[in-house]
Copies of this chain bind each other. A is one copy, B any other.
Amino acid sequence: TIDSAVKEKIQKYLSGLGCNPSGPTKKLSCISIKNSGRVATCPSGMIVTGCACGYGCGSWNVEGQNTCHCQCSVIDWTTARCCHLE
């Protein structure tokens, strides 16, 4: 039928466009993960955008995309700020 021919055409064309069947991503979403000690790790699928440390410490680094590591000599807690698109 003409209907099925048109539908097939649309499907082919859209798949050539790389169009995402589940729809485009909408929003930046973030959570904080707080841990005792000097490391805090984001859940799988989220990525560190910043870290906070106990004892007023502002020296930190990110290990492997999703773990915050606070560097000062004395640290009692570490928080990872973790974001992804949803």
Interface of A is mostly: mixed
From B7, B9, B26, B83, A49 is in contact (CB under 8 Å) with B83
A56 to chain B, nearest CB (A): 5
Question: Nearest B residue to A53 by beta-carbon distance?
Answer: B58
B25 contacts A21, C-beta separation under 8 Å? no
* Chain B residue contacts of A83, Cβ below 8 A: 28, 47, 49, 83
Query: Is A36's CB within 8 Å of the partner chain B?
Result: no
Q: Which of A1-33 contact B (CB under 8 A)?
A: 2-3, 5-7, 9-11, 13-14, 17-30, 32
Identify the A interface with B (CB < 8 A).
2-3, 5-7, 9-11, 13-14, 17-30, 32, 34, 47-62, 65, 71-72, 79, 81, 83-85
